Amino acid sequence: MIKWFLDGLLPHISAAIKKSCVGYEDARLTDLIRHAKHAENQITAEKGRESDKREKQAHAAHLLLLKTFAKNMAGKEQQRPARNWRGPGFNRRGRDHGRRGRGRQG
């Protein structure tokens, strides 16, 4: 009956019982249930601590990113594009005005 109980548990809880309970083969079922509850609480607490640690690391990385960005932007003015800016390769004067283009003699 004890083997069935241990086989029905989650593998990590069963392994924790086998590790912590000396003589689990001969122990009473109530003792094994108490060990199983304790193992489950310990595993849940460990997962919570790991989650908190990951969250703190992500927060610290985000703050570092913001500080780096603020440091790089300090003292730099935002440059505005020219008033009639149309993109690279465009000329403000219009088509063929102000240049000697193809077909012009000059």
Residue 44 in contact with residue 13, Cβ under 8 Å? no
The full set of domain ranges for the chain reads 2-71
CA distances 88 to 64, 81, 92, Å, are 35, 11, 11
pLDDT tens per residue across all 106 residues of the chain:
777 787 788 888 888 888 888 787 878 888 888 989 999 999 999 999 999 999 999 999 999 999 988 888 776 655 555 555 555 555 555 555 555 656 555 5
What's the pTM?
0.50
CB contact set of 12 (below 8 Å; sequence gap of 6+): 39, 43
- Residue 33 has φ and ψ, to the nearest 5°, of -65, -40
